[in-house]
Chains A and B, each alone.
Chain A
Amino acid sequence: MSENMQTHGKHWKSCCQWKCISQALLTFQTHTLDSIMDQYLSRHFLSIFSSSANERTLCRSSSELLLEAYFCGRVGRNNHKFISQLMCDYFFKCMTCKSGIEIFELMDDYFVELNVGVTGPPVSDSKIIAGLLLHRDFSVYCPADGDIRIVMVTEAIQPPFTTSGSEFFLNSETQFQTSQFWIMERTKAIMKHLNGQNVKLLLSSVKQPNSVVYYAALNGISVVECLSAKEVSLIQRITDLSPFVPQASSQYDISNTALVKFCKPFILRSKRYVHLGLISTCAFIPHCIVLCGPVQGLIEQHENALHGAFKMLRQLHKDLDLSYIRYASDQNDTLSIPVSKNRRENDQLVETGNKSIQRPYQDTVVKDKDDLEKTQTYLKVYSNLVVSDIELEAYIPCSTPELTSEDTFQIDETLRCLSPGEHRIIGDCAPLAEGNSIANSTTENMRTEIFCENLQITKITRKQSMSPVKYNSLDEGTCQSYYSSSIPAGSVLPVGGNFEILLHYYLTKYAKKCQSSEETMVSMLIANALLGIPKILCRYKNGKYSFPHLYLKALHALETNQPVVSSQTGLESVIGKYQLLTSVLQCLIKILTVDLIISIKRQPQKVHHQDSEDEL
């Protein structure tokens, strides 16, 4: 019994440890990771935009590299080049010069509507078709030339006999016949009117009564019925066409028509589709992908891969905000690069020291418990101010007030020594003022252009600033000089473990300077885990491409501040990678906080098989 108790005790104890690790992981994920992403990794980001002046345009060759790498694991070797080429052609055909993220949103949201799968022909028969293919046939098709006007309805054109909530008293047979007659006349008049307005195509989201189809045919109007809600909204987005409400006005005023270049039946493997040459009023030029394949499963696989690629591109086109704030002041120092920045929860903070590699300056750090406590109170006061002032989400979820002690130093490219202003500043305002006079911030414009396979990938121009003088600026009542960090849209890195090795490198570097062993441990843990990815990728490679070689080469390049050259040509989205990493961490955090798994055995329910069969 007592033994049992003891093992239980041990269990709970180890659970506490897990909980601590989980806590540390959470801190890492919410603070450390973001700051490292922003401060160090961002230097290595490439962009898929070829940035000329203020315009940012999607670079064709980088997009191809990005997609090829994306499809590598999702589409079989047989077709992966073809599919990535098809996709690239597709969105470049759909784009206008002014289109941006919205077309990727549209392609993602309406993916099903913009795609047609055809089983039977080989994959290489897949193609891109200008215009929109509706997944249904015409109810009536009347060939028409020239500019064709279309209207859209979302209800039956024929007036209903009765409307909902009303009662219709029939007193005589003639009354019934006249009302029927009136309904027909009204329908006829509406269709005639549409014809007068030069409308040649009626798109309807509902099934229209026989008479509507009949009078449409008599008036030379083609009809497509039963459009899905998605198709309706897609057409609305492309053409800015709002539905025509036949019952609303007696004048049947149709201000809302749109023009199409053509509208004709389209036959794909004996199935008929409606092919519309919509004239776009937005940044999306409508095109459809016809995906062919010998088996349905393969087409589905390709569809899913394409849809995933659109989602990836959609995310790639949006800045991703990080929960890390940068502070900037006016002084420029082109040579300094921030290397470390510690955040700590104040309850565990006993000592804040600068354990940087720059030993000679270590003793200049001021450590004073009393001063520290003062700072904490200052911070408690001002951190609220910060929140209200700039509405930073990152601060809101913190239940305990945080002391952000910032610890900076600079690496001179050649000498690696500290500038005079590099003092560890903890305490009251006096030393802070001092620090301010030699405020160290950097605004660094890095614009390195590297050439990779004849294509120009412009390094993102980044402003890197840093300043430890947060308290100071608060004292002066100004808060203009800090802003939140983000991963800029279009950031990519070469494939093949580049992201992992870079993050590993900076995490190990960071871990060495950490004060608490816990933080060091977590950083090292993640850093080493990251290395597993390139190891797997290089599993079957040897010689120049083997993992140790690759790793050492990258390390050397990083130490000497040279660009890290990848042996592979593909690119991958940084935002995607970052989100994946945070998801993995979240999952790990959750798993570690679970201390007991209780399995519930559900009793199998009784099956009344025979009874139900009898009933049938």
Chain B
Amino acid sequence: MSRLEAKKPSLCESEPLTSERVRAALSVLKGIVTSCYGPSGRLKQLHNGLGGYVRTTSQSWALLSNLSVTHPVLKILTASVQNQAACFGDCGLFTAILCCNLIENVQRLALTPAAVIRLNKHLLSLCTDYLKSEACGCRIPVDFSSSRILLCLVRSILTSKPACMLTRNEIDHISALILRAFLLTIPEHTEEHIILGKTMIVPLKGQRVKDSVVLPGILIEMSEIQFARLLPFKKADVLKVALFGMSLSGDFSDTGEGTVMVSRGVSLENAVLDQLLRLGRQLVSDHVDLVLCQKVIHPSLKQFLSTHRVIAIDRVGGTLMEPLSKVTGTQPIGSLDSVSPNSYGSVKNVCPAQFGFKHFLHLIPNEVSICSLLLCNRNDTAWDELKLTCQTALHVLQSTIKEPWVLLGGGCTETHLAAYIRHKTHTEPESLLSDEGCTQTDLELIAEAFCSALESLAGSLEHDGGETLTDMKYGHCWSVQAGSPAVVSWADLLSQCGCGLHNSQEELSWSFLKSTRHPIAPDTCLPQTATDSAGSLTVDCLTAKLGGLQVAVETANLILDLSYIIEDKN
């Protein structure tokens, strides 16, 4: 029964961005996301006053999905960032900060939304074209014959998530595991299209991070009693597996639409059980070693199988079915009668495994494309954060196969891009102003707003009161600690740029990010060190960052285009 209530009138708000309330809310949100950004970002603790689960995080997805925002403008922004992060895996904070910066910078200008949107779009396509072009100076090709760049990529992701609470050694360990897990999902024999396998992340909380392992195949968790009953194992070269997608409990539910009349003395239970045992006899005579069932196996059948030294495991669950059918190389069986001999699969070996306090049955496949990452961390919240980070890293590695490039991290891509746009709009504004109704001044204003949004994004990596600089040759991002003596030359004070590609001994000149300076043409050729040296680089996923850039500009444009908000409060 629904309550009858007088309808509330809709709320109508004109020019939402000019209202103080929205500006304040936007700046709070910006403050939250900015303070989380980067390796030295601050953590946020999310908890409900009523108690319960507490989450410590610095990741956009976890943060924003728990944050309840009320104003429609903020709702658009957070939803858009969350969707971006879910879609590309990474760069959620990047998107959120850039979007906030753009809105804030543009608001200060007295330009019509139409002009702003048009020019923002032009600048965006300038960026995306540059990042996709061969001449791009902040893009490194990924060499799949060596693990170096891929490891750098994974390590950069792990370092940028401080809430995982990992030490340097642990980061190295986990990044190696993630990369190994990823490589295991690439099938050995590939045809035209590569169909990547899957990494199953198995939780093991309360253990040391160093105890985490990657295993080929699948781990099926079981109770200690089941585990004890499994022993001992009979050894064979290849184990025959029967995988059932249907119930083996002897239920008979589908009788059609008519009625079934059963004569006195006829027991359907017996009939079905008879059928089950016949199936059991067939399985035994076909030399099946392992029976896996998604649902329940009838105790009598289980008993029968175990007396014939066939391992029977039931209640595997729906989520494991697809990986299981991949590992065993077979389709689930859906019939009690006449099971075709073709429908049995195989695994190389099955062995019991014990990790920490948990017991597993480990299925080792003949051909690996499914692996299990047994992930350990000290407590719940750190484990959750680590799991999210691992998923991000795996996702990013997958997209790197599609687009085999990485972008320079540590803010260098942002400052380089800003320098490039400044240079472009300064030297060839005609190409950007080709279409109707924008003046050169408009373009300069918007380009400045756009570039400073990118630069202050790079500046957001610094949380400890330090300064951010950029060099006048490559346009990379350099940071200097707070309280450094002013008299020393920059070259001595700075050691490496954000991404680690250049060091300060290269006779460069620097200037503060916030200061005004002449547009420079950033050097677009990458040094040889980028591709072969042993040095560690900070790199980001190209796909995710490009997507984030596009989504940020698009969302900012969408929000800037709002001139009315009509809210139905019912």
Q: Which residues of A contact B (CB under 8 A)?
A: 76-79, 118-125, 140, 160-173, 176-177, 180-181, 184-185, 188, 209-215, 217-218, 269, 294-298, 602, 604-605, 607-609, 612
Contact = CB atoms under 8 A, between A and B. Distances in A.
Nearest to B80: A294
A231 to B, nearest CB: 24
Quick one: which of B86, B255, B260, B334 has the most chain A CB within 10 A? B334
Interface of B: 1, 3-5, 76, 79-80, 83-84, 86-88, 113-114, 117-118, 121, 245-246, 254-263, 266-268, 270-271, 274-275, 331-338, 340, 342-343, 547, 550-551, 554-555, 557-558, 561
Nearest to A292: B87
28 contacts: A76-B558, A77-B117, A78-B117, A119-B83, A120-B547, A121-B550, A121-B551, A122-B547, A123-B554, A160-B254, A161-B258, A163-B258, A168-B255, A168-B260, A170-B260, A171-B263, A173-B268, A176-B268, A181-B337, A185-B338, A211-B335, A214-B332, A218-B340, A218-B342, A269-B86, A294-B79, A294-B83, A294-B551
Nearest to A169: B261
B529 to A, nearest CB: 33
Nearest to A124: B550
Nearest to A174: B271
A170 B275 contact: no
A385 B79 CA distance: 67
Contacts of B4: 602, 604-605
Contacts of A215: 334-335
A162 B254 CA distance: 9
Contacts of B332: 214
Nearest to B554: A122
A177 B334 contact: no
Q: Which secondary structure characterizes the binding site on chain A?
A: mixed
A173 B1 contact: no
A294 B84 contact: yes
Given A214-B334, A604-B5, 13 more contacts: A120-B83, A120-B84, A120-B88, A160-B254, A161-B258, A169-B261, A170-B260, A180-B336, A180-B337, A181-B337, A218-B331, A269-B86, A294-B83
A162 B255 CA distance: 6
Contact of A214 (B257, B270, B335): B335
A314 B156 CA distance: 54
A35 B521 CA distance: 68
Contact of A163 (B84, B117, B256): B256
A212 B254 CA distance: 14
A170 B263 contact: yes
Given A211-B334, A295-B79, A162 B259 contact: yes
Given A122-B554, A173-B271, A605-B1, A77 B114 contact: yes
B343 A184 contact: no
Contact of B76 (A79, A295, A607): A295
Contact of A213 (B87, B262, B334, B547): B334
B78 to A, nearest CB: 9
A184 B335 CA distance: 8
B262 A170 contact: yes
A161 B256 contact: yes
Contacts of B245: 210, 213-214
Contact of B254 (A123, A209, A605): A209
B483 to A, nearest CB: 41
B261 A176 contact: no
B126 to A, nearest CB: 14
B256 A160 contact: yes
A602 B558 CA distance: 42
A162 to B, nearest CB: 3
B266 A162 contact: no
A170 B114 CA distance: 78
Quick one: which of A140, A188, A218, A294 has the most chain B CB within 10 A? A294
A165 B331 contact: no
A168 B342 contact: no
A612 B274 CA distance: 48
B551 A122 contact: yes
Contacts of B547: 120-122
Contacts of B555: 294-295
Nearest to B113: A77
Contacts of B258: 160-168
A101 B140 CA distance: 52
Given A122-B547, A177-B275, A162 B335 contact: no
Contacts of B113: 77
